[in-house]
Amino acid sequence: MPRILKILIMVVTCVAVGYLSGEVTREGVTTWYPTLEKPVFNPPNWVFAPVWTILYILMGVAAGLVWQRADEQKETVKKGLTFFGIQLALNALWSYLFFGLHNPMLAFIEIIILLLMIYETYVQFKKVNSLAAWLLIPYLAWVAFATVLNASIWWLNR
């Protein structure tokens, strides 16, 4: 399969997960989320959609670049893409826990695990393709920020 097709498949997959997460988030953002006390560093709501769209595209490109090396580094690629799949599932789960269940504490516990899985994905991707690993850095940074934000919201509303 051509490299561009692998990248495209992974980008579409990531954007689709983001879209589904957005569906869970949408109602909570307009009804429940405005009722919460938030820290002063909470970004305006309009920031999240474009940031996540960019991050999902970068994630998909990274995964496609790693997948492209499956013939040369079968086991390493398999391990990296397994961690990638786990973190992508955890990414979607966070939206459900926070916005669907309205449970910032449970979402906080889960986002810590997500952050660790993203880091491990970065480590595994770096063994295969350093550009793919670098493409995950903005995602890792944003989720680290989101972890602090999630913890703050939980703390302020406990």
Residue 101: DSSP 8-state: S
pLDDT of residue 103: 97
pLDDT of residue 124: 98
pLDDT of residue 145: 98
pLDDT of residue 1: 86
pTM value?
0.95
DSSP string, 34-71: GGS---TTPPPGGGHHHHHHHHHHHHHHHHHHHHTTTT
Report whether 63 contacts 132 (CB < 8 A). yes
Chain segment 73-90, per-residue pLDDT in tens: 999 999 999 999 999 999
pLDDT of residue 27: 87
Q: What parts of the chain have a pLDDT lower than 50?
A: none
Instruction: Pull the structure tokens for residue 100.
Output: 């669907």
